[in-house]
Structure 1
Amino acid sequence: MRNFVLLLIAVMTVAAQNATVQGQQAMDQMWGESVVKLRAENARRGQLFDEGNYAMFIHWGLYSMLGNQVDGKTYYGIGEWIMNPRMAGIPVDEYKQLAKRFNPVDFDAKKIVAIAKDAGMKYIVITAKHHDGFAMYDSDMCDFNIADATPWQRDPMGELANACRDAGLGIGFYYSHNQDWTFPGGGNGPKVDDQGQAATFDDYFVNKCLPQVNEITTKYGPIELVWFDTPGKMPKHYVQQLVELVHKNQPNALVSGRAGHGLGDYQTLGDMEVPHQNVPGMWESVDTTNDSWAYAWYDENWKSPKEILKRLVACVGRGGTYMLNIGPKGDGSVPGRAAASLKAAGDWIRRYPQVIYGTDASPWQHALPWGDVTRKDNTLFLCVFRWPDDGRLYVPNLLTSIQSARLLGADSSDSLPFRSEQEWAVIELPPRPVDPLVSVIQLDLKSPPKVDPVWAVDPAQSTEVLAEFAEADHAVKEKRRWMEKFGEWKGVVHVHDFGGDGRAVWKLDVHRAGTYQVDLVYSGTGRLVWQVGIDGGEKIQNQQNASHNYQAFPIGWLSFPEPGTYSVFARCIDGDVESASLKSIQFDPVELMSDANQE
């Protein structure tokens, strides 16, 4: 009998262990934890990109040693272009001499990988060769490389690849395939060789570019991707050779969208561009922790942990991947404030990995007034960046029934009360957020989510609707991009050319009848007169000064007599109308006694 009891206990123990393992595996699959735990060498092609959703970009080279300062003068802009005539204009021979002083004794691959891992990133992409032509690895194709031309004589690409592999992260390399400012024949580089003979792009491609891409795809084991950049007018047959070489040497690696001629494996958006609408297919946004890609001594404009999360969740919520850059100093160390901000954001991701990894785009296809949404099957993760003062979270036009709602990070046994109002869900919240950065509400639905993605005016807090979501009626809607500092890109989709009857028109869903303060965000010159109105209803207009860089200007109060869908328009009607550029319209509820009685 005793043996039987012992056998029974053993069987029950194994069964319990198996059940625990199976239960954990089920949770892993449910919450994307399998992606969190996935090691790079076990990932299928593009899995870290497609499901990890978050990566580290590193810009590091000779330019980092200068930190945007040459001969005592500071050049404001992206530091990796410091050699270019549009920055300091350093001659080729003079720039090459910098290598003799490049001695990054504080470079520690393991520390950098630890920063990336603590941040919640799934792979690293680093500049193996930027436009300056300097190879940041031991290359046999050119003496202008870190192992041969510097006193340091190490291969940081190899060290970083090994450190990534040990930590389970992926590794990828940036390679400037078209531009090379120091090799004869390279894009925007010398037109003659050392013997004074004319050099062609083919000379550069055959003798340096193609062989170096072969090196970085054969020297360092399996890699995640090759990140080509600035193809310019590079002929297609060159790009085809590079892409074919990468796929031959690294069958599991992706090629960035900036290879050119549509030959990349995914789309890369513009520098520092986080989209406002869902983008189909595989794509990435590349961004910076401050304003420069490479280290700039003066640049302390770091993104806060909350801003990093806002941009990360926005990219995941639009269906893409976010690659965030750091610029190590010339000595190889990472600026402490950048590392601290990344760590704090990473701590949040560890609390809510299910929000980021293995998730899909928001069914609303855009942000909501209080925050943003990611999705996993029938579950929505509401990331509340702006906690409502009245304790109610309004979820617009959710056409699928809610099964349960709970605040993550709170007592898991406590569910949040919710109700339906005119196809809106209203969730009752505690008075204060539970997370100091971003609180997350998990909505489990009874079936796959269906929503009406029309923009909705929140009845309790400010709603900004971009001109990007307007129809241009006898006006022009287009993307505008500009540089604040050299290489620091900003952009908007704006409506302009309001001559005659030109206007921007939004379709808006108003949940609560009442009065709203209307502001317009625009740029222009002089004093401009704007008119805002409801088709078939009230119109208001006001004159305000313009600005050159998009500021919010109050127009007045506008009343919606009942809940429903409205067409709201804005147009510039007087002043320097040709200069008027409209970025967005904003609505803030005005609490009036008569409005409250309408509830």
Structure 2
Amino acid sequence: MKNKLTIGILSALILQGMAAEQGMNEMWGESTVKLRAENAARGQLFDEGNYAMFIHWGLYSQLGNKVDGKTYYGIGEWIMNPRMAGIPVEEYKNLAKTFNPKKFDAKAIAKLAKDAGMKYIIITSKHHEGFAMYHSKACDFNVVDATPWAKDPMHELAEACRAEGLGFGFYYSHNQDWTFPGGNRGPTTDEKGNPATFDDYFVKKCLPQVEEITSNYGPIEIVWFDTPGNMPKKYVQQLVDVVRKNQPNALVSGRAGHGLGDYQSLGDMEVPHKNVDGMWESVDTTNDSWAYAWYDEYWKTPKEILRRLIACVGRGGTYMLNIGPRGDGSVPERAARSLEESGAWIRRYPQVVYAADASPWEHALPWGDVTVKGNRLYLSVFEWPAGGKLYLPGLKTKIASAKLLLGEKSSAVPYESAHGWTILGLPPVAPEKLVSVIEIELAGEPEVVPTFGVDPDIGTEILADFASVAGAELSQKRWMEKFGEWKSVHHVHDWTADAKATFEVSVLEPGDYIVSLTYAGEGRLVWGVDVVGGEHIQNQQNSSHNYQEFPIGWINFPEPGTYAVAVSFLEGDPALASLKSIHFAPAR
């Protein structure tokens, strides 16, 4: 569960009055009085809201990843960089002369965030390319002084957020600046040809701009610094000091560097599989690019947004989901539609998301995920069991009641226990189109054996993250599908002759199960799977450079109980064999 920040006296009094009137659970629902961002204690919206909007918007947005008729595939905010289009500094700065986003509508964006169920908005005030999306007196390369539009959209958005009861904050690239002399990856000489140092950039632009964004736009929820690189600690400390002075209620992102942030920010697009301690967030985007890319129509569906949001809350964190407005300021319609549809679900089930804690199982379950409030478990069922039974392994606390929710209505759910499992009886058809919710009220605090149960109806995948490994290596691997589109996997690799990756599983229904492995490699590989103390199977399958699932065979669990299942690598190139997961499915 997350470490909670202390609530200030003012906010405590506000919350006490609201809770007395409507109940703490309802505080985050649409039926309640708005909690205005300026009344929130430091980090409250982050810690209890659990869901936010990220916005990447700048000069790069009007290019949309197309330069001189050529499309560059990858994250749009890096289009200027040599790894993308390599646009020279002066040529890029000239783009400001045609930046005229007349379709920007701050009120519509704030309303979209509110309708999506988000609690605050963080927007790019200056990205790595150095263009300020607000009126900066420190540098005239900004949206007011350098463009025909000549408006400060940040004032409008800050006001619109406050009108909707949302928090507001800024992204600021503090280390990289590709257009200002001395900034990391920027020009090495000034306009007079004199050598420029990082100190020149920091003193003349970075520090004064952080003063500006923390002084001129009202209460700030977060200052989201990014990519500190090798920036010396003394500079980061000065920036944090400015935030503390001007915005004492604001959080500083972990990407400030040197451990000076208030919380951990995971890798781009990373949703963890295991519970993570402390205060943390996952940053993700509605398609594959953060900034607008004209070709990128691979949008997350409403169900996928909810899956990733609830996974983050279930692992103990906060989910910040990005949109990339077009160069004219408009929001892509398909992104907005997915956000609105998932937001409508959140309005029906706010208790699943807001002020909710991590799952005591510490990982997702085959049919979905779990979040917690006090002695109530909220089971978000993404894969409705066709057999009419939902299986919950390892719950030790006695159940007081179980209900299937349908908005504000509910119906009792029958349940029974067997061999350490709880079995819930469900109707044949899911009541919700996206995600159905079961509320379990416990007789006390949740106590769970965080086991992986082999579900008798639904296929069960167990990731390599959860294996005990001997004779091989278990580590995280990250790669880009397109430039800046990060993927990651925990994998078992560098296998030796006697290496084992062992998974502990709980079995309710004995019998035969089909075992598959998801792996990557080269050529034909032979894998073995053993029920420790039981039967051994092995098989040869082909492999691919990307991860694919291959069947190995059937194994038998002779009776209910806990088993160790070991995977071994028997033949092929052990240097390239990479195991991602094991999968069990009932053989019937």
Offset from partner CA, 1:540-573 (integer Å, 9 cap, x none): 1111111111111111101111111111011221
- Counterpart in the other structure of 1:218: 215
Distance 1:583 1:32 in 2: 41
- Counterpart in the other structure of 1:508: 505
- Answering whether residue 372 of structure 2 is matched by residue 362 of structure 1, we say no
- Answering whether residue 556 of structure 2 is matched by residue 559 of structure 1, we say yes
- Counterpart in the other structure of 1:185: 182
Distance 2:220 2:583 in 1: 46
- Answering whether residue 475 of structure 2 is matched by residue 478 of structure 1, we say yes
1:148 aligned to 139, 145, 148, which one?
A: 145
Contact 1:32–1:359 (8 Å) recurs in 2: no
Offset from partner CA, 1:47-71 (integer Å, 9 cap, x none): 0000000000000000000000000
1:66 aligned to 63, 66, 85, which one?
A: 63
Task: Using the TM superposition, name which of 33-42 and 565-574 deviates more.
Answer: 33-42
Give the letter for the 2:24 counterpart. Q
Contact 1:499–1:578 (8 Å) recurs in 2: no
Q: Report SS of the residue matched to 1:56.
A: strand
Q: Provide closer, same or farther for how the CA distance between residues 54 and 22 of structure 1 changes in structure 2, counting only shifts above 3 A.
A: closer
Distance 2:478 2:178 in 1: 26
Q: Report SS of the residue matched to 2:212.
A: helix
Contact 2:29–2:350 (8 Å) recurs in 1: no
- Counterpart in the other structure of 2:10: none
| Deviation of the 1:534 alpha carbon | 1.0
Contact 1:32–1:353 (8 Å) recurs in 2: no
| Deviation of the 1:25 alpha carbon | 3.8
Distance 1:27 1:547 in 2: 56
Q: Provide closer, same or farther for how the CA distance between residues 480 and 413 of structure 1 changes in structure 2, counting only shifts above 3 A.
A: closer
Q: Provide closer, same or farther for how the CA distance between residues 395 and 85 of structure 1 changes in structure 2, counting only shifts above 3 A.
A: same
Offset from partner CA, 1:333-369 (integer Å, 9 cap, x none): 0000000000000000000001000111001010011
- Counterpart in the other structure of 1:18: none
Distance 1:102 1:410 in 2: 45
Give the TM-score of the pair, scaled to structure 2.
0.95
| Deviation of the 1:33 alpha carbon | 3.5
- Counterpart in the other structure of 1:174: 171
Offset from partner CA, 1:132-169 (integer Å, 9 cap, x none): 00000000011100000000000011110011011110
Q: Report SS of the residue matched to 1:346.
A: helix
- Counterpart in the other structure of 2:50: 53
- Answering whether residue 316 of structure 2 is matched by residue 319 of structure 1, we say yes
Q: Report SS of the residue matched to 1:570.
A: strand
Give the letter for the 1:539 counterpart. H
Equivalences for 1:220-235 in 2 at 5 Å? 220-235=217-232
2:404 aligned to 394, 404, 407, which one?
A: 407
Contiguous gaps of at least 5 residues in structure 2 = 1-15
| Deviation of the 1:411 alpha carbon | 8.4
Distance 1:196 1:80 in 2: 28
Rg comparison, structure with higher value:
1
Q: Provide closer, same or farther for how the CA distance between residues 522 and 32 of structure 1 changes in structure 2, counting only shifts above 3 A.
A: farther
- Answering whether residue 333 of structure 2 is matched by residue 336 of structure 1, we say yes
Q: Provide closer, same or farther for how the CA distance between residues 185 and 526 of structure 1 changes in structure 2, counting only shifts above 3 A.
A: same
- Counterpart in the other structure of 2:519: 522
Offset from partner CA, 1:196-233 (integer Å, 9 cap, x none): 00000000000000000000000001110100000000
Equivalences for 1:262-277 in 2 at 5 Å? 262-277=259-274
Offset from partner CA, 1:45-94 (integer Å, 9 cap, x none): 10000000000000000000000000010000000000000000000010
Equivalences for 1:124-143 in 2 at 5 Å? 124-143=121-140
Contact 2:378–2:440 (8 Å) recurs in 1: yes
Distance 1:40 1:411 in 2: 27
Q: Report SS of the residue matched to 1:443.
A: strand
Contact 1:475–1:498 (8 Å) recurs in 2: yes
Distance 1:362 1:27 in 2: 26
- Answering whether residue 242 of structure 2 is matched by residue 245 of structure 1, we say yes
Q: What is the aligned-residue identity percentage?
A: 68
| Deviation of the 1:577 alpha carbon | 2.1
Contiguous gaps of at least 5 residues in structure 1 = 1-20, 592-599
Q: Report SS of the residue matched to 2:370.
A: strand
Q: Report SS of the residue matched to 1:147.
A: coil
Q: Report SS of the residue matched to 2:403.
A: strand
| Deviation of the 1:423 alpha carbon | 1.7
Offset from partner CA, 1:280-307 (integer Å, 9 cap, x none): 0000000000000000000000000000
Offset from partner CA, 1:438-487 (integer Å, 9 cap, x none): 00000000001100002111111100000000011111000000000000
Q: Provide closer, same or farther for how the CA distance between residues 261 and 24 of structure 1 changes in structure 2, counting only shifts above 3 A.
A: closer
Contact 1:507–1:565 (8 Å) recurs in 2: yes
Contact 1:27–1:33 (8 Å) recurs in 2: no
Equivalences for 1:290-305 in 2 at 5 Å? 290-305=287-302
Q: Report SS of the residue matched to 1:569.
A: strand
Give the letter for the 2:269 counterpart. M
Offset from partner CA, 1:87-120 (integer Å, 9 cap, x none): 0000001000000010001001001111101100
| Deviation of the 1:414 alpha carbon | 2.8
1:495 aligned to 492, 506, 529, which one?
A: 492
| Deviation of the 1:27 alpha carbon | 5.0
Give the TM-score of the pair, scaled to structure 1.
0.94
Distance 1:495 1:580 in 2: 8
- Counterpart in the other structure of 1:371: 368
1 or 2, which has the higher helix percentage? 1
Give the letter for the 1:29 counterpart. M
Q: Indicate the RMSD between aligned Cα atoms, in angstroms.
A: 1.4
- Counterpart in the other structure of 1:594: none
Give aligned pairs, total. 571
Distance 2:384 2:252 in 1: 40
| Deviation of the 1:24 alpha carbon | 7.8
